[in-house]
Structure 1
Amino acid sequence: MDDAEPGLRERKKRETRLALSLATIRLAVDKGWDEVTVEDIAAAVGVSDRTFRNYFGSKAEAVASRHLDRMREIARQVRARPADEPLWESLTASVLGGFGLGQDDSGAQAGRAADTRWAETIGQILAEPAVRGAVLEADALAQRELAAAVAARIGADATLNLYPKLVAAVVGAACAVATEQSLATRPPEPISDVLRCALTQVAAGLPVPTTGS
């Protein structure tokens, strides 16, 4: 019982943290960023305002938490991929998995991105200065964790070797650019398609595209 309780507590904390992050995003889309209060978010999840503040210092941190969780999941999946799988195949599969997408389907997120209003509002939320700052902070932490996962996979030292850090930075940038591209196109392009395209181009060394492609 003593061994199980800490695990249960940690799982419930993760679930509450995720619920608060998703509620922040959902309410900001529905009501507008400036109209959403901490009290609104806490009420939507059924917790106290104090509980929200135990997890996050601001609405922006709550939004950025979703990004951090996703990037950490990518790092976890990189570690779990078959050892003999080529690195960039593992990274692509892990990125799609981190975004909740499969290799052969667009998944629920892609379908949701087809909602133009949703895409426009998410783009506006991500453009908020406070959110941009919080996402940058989260991304720095996420890149360190992804670099460690890549280093472990290739048998390198994550502290001394440049390659894992470069890979983590490039993957993070590719995810950010793909997300922005998906939200900016009209109608919104499925994020799964843009992610695959971005990572394929990166893995190929970013060759200059032919005219019109």
Structure 2
Amino acid sequence: MALREAALRLALERGPENVRVSDIADAAGVSPRTYNNYYSSREQAIIAAVTAEREQRIIAAILSQPESTSISEAVINAIVEQYTDPGEHVSDVMLMVMNNPTLRSSYADSIAPLGRSLAEALSRRVAGMDPLTADVLAASIGAAARVAIEDWLTSVATRTLSTGFVVPAGSLPDRLRTALTALRPALEDAERRARSASAPTPALKGLT
């Protein structure tokens, strides 16, 4: 936590290109070797601060939605609500991310670690879901979210290069919802099969 917070603070103060790993380590009171035990680059630490605890919030949101909510809606709602549409007001942090190609890439990559935790959440949400199915769905959800994020960041970057200013390019939540909706049939089919497999077998009648 100290490393990621120091990385973000220094990046905002100096610009990410002017921050060295040794600077972050010094600010956190550890050695560069210790830093490398946690992060492989300055960009990774910066983005870790931007996305801190997002994975846990997504999982909690999936599991906390009403039982009447389908698994597809639970997943889509949980992921979309974790991303704020900057609209007309882009924060200093997101301006920094948008203007730095390496940070943009690291930000897009940050969705990938959902994998195992998301698969476990799917299995908890839908009793009887096959573990392999849960793993495949979790990987697909992560890939869809990454595609949406990369598309949004690329659109912002393209407009920035052409105008000299960061111009919001549509809604990130809308892009995420569109990308994740493509997986709705697979999620609903997996839920239907799991519910069917875990349903009690009707008692046989008329046996003598």
Q: Deviations over 1:142-196 (max 9, x none)?
A: 2000000001101135xx5322112211111111111111111134333122112
Task: Check the 8 A contact 2:104/2:153 in 1, yes or no.
Answer: no
Q: Give the aligned CA root-mean-square deviation in angstroms.
A: 3.7
Q: 1:143 to 1:116 in 2, by over 3 A?
A: closer
Q: TM-score, normalised by structure 1?
A: 0.61
Evaluate the alpha carbon distance shift between residue 151 and residue 190 of structure 1 in structure 2; reply closer, same or farther with a 3 A threshold. same
CA distance in 2, matches of 1:122, 1:198: 24
Q: How does 1:130-145 map to 2 (within 5 A)?
A: 131=106, 135=109, 139=112, 141-145=113-117
Letter in 1 for 2:69: E
TM-score normalised over the length of structure 2: 0.62
Aligned to 1:65: 48
Where in structure 1 are there 5+ consecutive unaligned residues?
A: 1-13, 206-213
Q: Structure 2, unaligned stretches of length 5 or more? A: 160-166, 187-208
Residue equivalent to 2:177: 196
d(CA) in 2 for partners of 1:148 and 1:169?
Answer: 12
* Larger Rg belongs to: 2
> Which residue of the partner structure matches residue 151 of structure 1?
123
* Residue 189 of structure 2: aligned partner: none
% identical equivalent positions? 21
Letter aligned with residue 149 of structure 1 = A
Alpha-carbon contact 1:123-1:180 (below 8 Å) kept = no
Structure 1 residue 63 displacement after superposition: 4.0
Q: CA–CA distance in 1 between the matches of 2:11 and 2:145?
A: 19
Report SS of the residue matched to 2:59. Answer: helix
Which letter does structure 2 place at the counterpart of 1:83? E
8 Å contact from structure 1 (residues 79, 149) kept in 2: yes
